[in-house]
Amino acid sequence: MRALGFIVLAACGVNQTPQPEPVPQLPGCIPDRDGEITAAEMPIALGASITYYEGTNRSVDLAADGGIWDLADEHPDDDVVALGPIALETQWFAASFPAGQFAVDAGDGLVGIYHQDMQALWLDGTASVAESPKTLVKYAEPVAILRFPIRDGAAYETVAEISDGVIQNLPFVGTDRVAVDITGSGRLDVPYVRFSPVLRARTHVVRTPSSGSPVVGRRATIFLFECFGEVARAESKQDETNADFTTAARLRRFALGVTP
């Protein structure tokens, strides 16, 4: 099986990741379904993409019923989007992230910059796709978004310092508190496909300025499968207090055999 693994911390748009030609050869990876995901089981294929159904304001049940998450309902107004990692070399912000390996579309004209090693998938920061209006948020130290091996019961939290950020051309100083927990393993149903066992990763990101602007929090529930990486994602509305929220501001699910 050839597959592509990648994660987006805070994706919230329908923009497709522009990919170069030709499409690269994908790394080989065969799921062993042992209930955990190693770095080798989340390969990064620069220039490749996975297709998803994506819709807004969807009712979701993120608490597994009998070990099954059911996100299989079809929605005629879903968009079909293709997302994948792109190399940094040609991006205007590349010099700001010397440790970065790739960028992934994060919606609303933003990308997340990441690198991956045997220990974790690390988020180095975010940037705008276009240099103007400029957004450039670089963490003093990278944030571990997923620590390997990914297994049920893991939990960790990082407070990332932002000392000289720029958001929409305005200076920003503050912190991002990023909490991650891996809670639950079971079967995930999406349209025409079942993945088992998936691992459920929940993220909660709280951005706090040093002064001035209000604190902002967002949650996401991400379903991961060996060799595929992210196969579904539900994102909360801003400042959601329920970790298992029931209305997704945006819902993304793996789309089998569909092209944008």
Per residue in 127-182, pLDDT (tens digit) is 999 999 999 999 999 999 999 999 999 999 999 999 999 999 999 999 999 999 99
Query: Whole-model pTM above 0.75?
Result: yes
Predicted confidence band of residue 27 (pLDDT cuts 50, 70, 90): low
In order, the DSSP letters of 79-128 are EEEEE--EESTTSTTGGG-TT--EEEEEETTEEEEEEE-SSEEEEEEEEE
Residue 15: what pLDDT?
A: 35
- What mean pLDDT comes out for the span 187-193? 96
Cα 234 from chain centroid? Answer: 10
Residue 10: what pLDDT?
A: 36
Per residue in 204-228, pLDDT (tens digit) is 999 999 987 789 999 999 999 999 9
Cα 48 from chain centroid? Answer: 16
Residue 61: what pLDDT?
A: 96
213 SS3 class? coil
85, two tokens: 């990692």
Residue 66: what pLDDT?
A: 82
CA dist list (Å): 239 to 205, 216, 249:
10, 6, 12
Closest CA to 251 of 69, 110, 124, 64: 69
Residue 20: what pLDDT?
A: 41
Query: Is pLDDT larger for residue 250 or for residue 257?
Result: 250
Residue 26: what pLDDT?
A: 55
116, two tokens: 């991956």
